[in-house]
Structure 1
């Protein structure tokens, strides 16, 4: 139960941060373009963000947008593994 709630909360936070990033990057909904719109993705993408130095400069914002998905995938896999152990 705790694992499922944690995964859902993380997914919602990731979705909100991703929408903020895309809105600021492309100026959706009449917003001005903001280069710092992806700042909310950084803490959600740790520790993968530290690998961003290996990615080319134009790909860094997109890597920052995808990095939290790796953590979400890890949470889902850990929850499935824990559920199998309990059965």
Structure 2
């Protein structure tokens, strides 16, 4: 599951960077980061508490928190299921 989320995050991050900075001849689009919003929920709601120049970077980094949480939950789940299989 974290792999699928990670791939979606990298795809959304790529679209954000290409659209924001106009790489590859792409027209600059202020809405290029919209796909990052659902991936970064609920952490995106707290971004406005920090200085405004950091907002784009924090919005791009917010999904990494969810990716870390998913990775930890999957690791704990695998560890507990392995413990259940070995304890007879």
Q: TM-score, normalised by structure 1?
A: 0.91
Is 1:68 matched up with 2:63?
A: yes
Aligned residues: 82
Alpha-carbon distance between aligned partners in 1 of 2:13 and 2:2, rounded to the nearest angstrom: 16
Gaps of at least 5 residues in structure 2 are: 83-88
Higher helix share: 1
User: Which residue of structure 1 aligns with residue 80 of structure 2?
Assistant: 85
User: Which residue of structure 2 aligns with residue 26 of structure 1?
Assistant: 21
- Runs of 4 or more consecutive aligned structure 1 residues displaced over 6 Å after TM superposition: none
Alpha-carbon distance between aligned partners in 1 of 2:60 and 2:47, rounded to the nearest angstrom: 11
TM-aligned CA deviation for residue 58 of structure 1:
1.1
User: Which residue of structure 2 aligns with residue 3 of structure 1?
Assistant: none
Alpha-carbon displacement from aligned partner over 1:46-84 (angstroms, at most 9, x marks no partner) = 010011111211111110000000000000000011111
Name the Cα RMSD after superposition: 0.7
Alpha-carbon displacement from aligned partner over 1:9-61 (angstroms, at most 9, x marks no partner) = 11111000000000011100100111111000000000100111112111111
Gaps of at least 5 residues in structure 1 are: 1-5
